[in-house]
Structure 1
């Protein structure tokens, strides 16, 4: 009753709120679905080629996955500032953040490109000891590495456009890229239309061409259609020292958070990778299923960060509290829908893929674990990535992930696998326990409202 009374006093039009949220969530959910679709296309097509090839591409993809987490941390940290400055109407500062973000992305992706081209075998050995899987993974890395820098530029630009409510452009760019990738995958992997069958190299080449197309489309949009937030080369070369300090303060914990979380996920993959190719193949499919089941929930998390950040920048803290209450309810609902989808998809996935009987048995169990895992993940992601970061509370997620993943699930999962020699299902349950542990801690932080802060300045003067 009190909550309804407060809402009336604030004058909130909830129909308008849900309409605005829907307009943000749908394009971003489609973007997430499209991004997962690229991985799913590789898994489905390479799964037809063989288990070793599928495992090789999946584990080689972990290198890009870690790189993307650096980029996601970078863009999520930038969103803390850009969404609030957007609510404040300060476009000049957002342009400075854009130049700063692209400069950081080029630096990060160049490092990963050099590593993938010079030490691909060493990178593969982190995730598996199977020589055939390593050989296939090296083939993939040596081609796909050339796409990393282009991917970094595209992702930073499109994510900052999202934080100023230009969400449709990314959907269009990634949809065209997905269509290109799927078509080229079929041609290059299986040798259609007279092309030689390239197998895993074909999947890598299709990805590279798709990334080139993405960057070209972004360049056209930036030059021809975007007149609000411009990329200015002088902001790429010369950094505003005051804004850089703010950027590092709020973005660095997010980068570390995403990287440590991503390395934790990669550690999970590495632990399973040393338990046999059947476990790796089943996990690669289960992870794609998880990503597909959480596309809407992750879109909701991004929408939460943008919507609440803008509201806080507009100096409306009570409105932000009221909106945040609705976002957590929506997150649980999206998680439940995602979990149900995974249970429905389990028998379909096991029947379609060319996996060994053991891998299929693992896959059925992993789908069951994922069905409840995604509910907790949807809630935690909306709170940590969306709500908390919208108000500049970026260190909490880092501390929580470090303690629950590295101090609990990964530590005990590794002990179960390598010391106590537990079965794959037992190890998998332990590795997937971190999101459940986070839920009560996340809820306590949310109810404290310590996350709700305005982090903008009157004007970030500089170049």
Structure 2
């Protein structure tokens, strides 16, 4: 189905069914993305701690570049939705070309830095030369993954912005089995393949990402190949078009980079907690990432549809009606996440039978926070994604950056290093952070300026 056909179908105001249709493939894709990292760790765990340490070191360096690529892909998603909603092929072509240029530039610069400085940095950080050698080999092969993701994530975000979120999911359904099978064979030398150890894991990922990116590229050419023949650029020439794209994207990317850095800093501070408390904080993080995708992707899908509606210059009453329905759906998604945490906490003895009773008791004590936080987090996310869809990206960035660096990070340091408070109160800082963001987000949204934004600029 081409974008022209899809655009005709969007002439009617979307409802919660449209949000769900867009959100569920995005949710599964995000779960696959996080799950792939876990699978790689499980496969390499059979080779021992040395292989895991080498992969962890290499992945940390490569992950910095991938983090930048993923951050800009979120902005690409919204900008695509704005252009798709407006139905202007010149705008749509400009967004796609600009997004690919920015993403490829980040990937190529990152790969160049890895090739020039990666070996030296790994040698300085690795505990011994054996781990350094394995990590350097892994990172060099992983550069293929970085290049593939630079292209692939941009295309996937373009599909999401055009309300075709199933296509990125199909790519993951294709690549994840390839990643697992090829990695197992190349790590252990099965089925006549060479036994490459840790290099086999990196090569398996490279093969899978190459297949995935090729698949998405072919689909893009089939569905949007006509954009190659569209004349002109949105802002006159290509250079001003890229500058406009960067101006929109940088605050969104900075928001995600800031969140990642704040999380890493807090994780380093958690290391000063008691062993049981640190273990509990470490264990709850992946649960929050995976379960939280349900409500997170719902709110991102809402932002995409709001951007499309603003691109079509939809009347304000229609925007209000859609957002109120999407908001109700976000609360339902938050309820689902809360139920997941309830089930997790009630099943701790089964999920983590080898943990010390004190650690399980700390995890169970997190339950009140985990149940309550989902609802302010969801409503704040609705506001944030709606304001981003309207182009109010700098304001949203300030809310996130100041709440993280002026409150959560220093408060975490005080609670852990000075007051030595319990893990419950340290985790509660995430709830207080949502409470701080709440009035800033909702006051801006209720003012209503976002409904009159000219997103086609």
Post-superposition CA distance 1:194-235 (Å, at most 9, x none) = 767766554433322221111221232233444454599998
**SS at the partner of 2:80?**
helix
Mapped partners of 2:114, 2:17: distance in 1: 44
Partner residue, 1:172: 170
Mapped partners of 2:19, 2:199: distance in 1: 41
Mapped partners of 1:116, 1:124: distance in 2: 13
Q: Which of 47, 63, 85 is the equivalent residue of 2:83?
A: 85
The 5 Å alignment of 1:68-83 reads 68-83=66-81
Q: Which of 22, 25, 28 is the equivalent residue of 2:26?
A: 28
Mapped partners of 1:94, 1:13: distance in 2: 21
Cα gap change, 1:446/1:295 in structure 2, threshold over 3 Å: closer, same or farther? Answer: same
Partner residue, 2:378: 378
1:376–1:435 contact (8 Å) kept in structure 2: yes
**Larger CA deviation: 391-400 vs 17-26:** 17-26
2:186–2:197 contact (8 Å) kept in structure 1: yes
Q: Which runs of 5+ in 2 are unaligned?
A: 1-10
The 5 Å alignment of 1:18-417 reads 18-45=16-43, 57=55, 61-117=59-115, 118-119=117-118, 122=121, 140-188=138-186, 193=191, 201-230=199-228, 240-272=238-270, 285-316=283-314, 317-345=316-344, 357=356, 361=360, 364=363, 368=367, 370=370, 372-384=372-384, 386-417=385-416
Please report how far the alpha carbon of residue 334 of structure 1 lies from its aligned counterpart in structure 2 after TM superposition: 0.9
Post-superposition CA distance 1:37-87 (Å, at most 9, x none) = 212323554567767866775675454554344334423333443322222
**Larger CA deviation: 441-450 vs 53-62:** 53-62
Cα gap change, 1:353/1:206 in structure 2, threshold over 3 Å: closer, same or farther? Answer: farther
Cα gap change, 1:180/1:442 in structure 2, threshold over 3 Å: closer, same or farther? Answer: same
**SS at the partner of 2:160?**
helix
Q: Which runs of 5+ in 1 are unaligned?
A: 1-11
TM-score normalized with structure 2 length? 0.79
The 5 Å alignment of 1:416-431 reads 416-419=415-418, 427-430=426-429
2:57–2:122 contact (8 Å) kept in structure 1: no
Mapped partners of 2:427, 2:354: distance in 1: 19
Partner residue, 2:436: 437
Mapped partners of 1:314, 1:297: distance in 2: 26
Cα gap change, 1:241/1:106 in structure 2, threshold over 3 Å: closer, same or farther? Answer: closer
Please report how far the alpha carbon of residue 184 of structure 1 lies from its aligned counterpart in structure 2 after TM superposition: 3.3
Mapped partners of 2:124, 2:276: distance in 1: 17
1:256–1:398 contact (8 Å) kept in structure 2: yes
Please report how far the alpha carbon of residue 322 of structure 1 lies from its aligned counterpart in structure 2 after TM superposition: 1.8
Mapped partners of 1:154, 1:255: distance in 2: 17
Report the count of equivalent residues. Answer: 441
Cα gap change, 1:147/1:350 in structure 2, threshold over 3 Å: closer, same or farther? Answer: farther
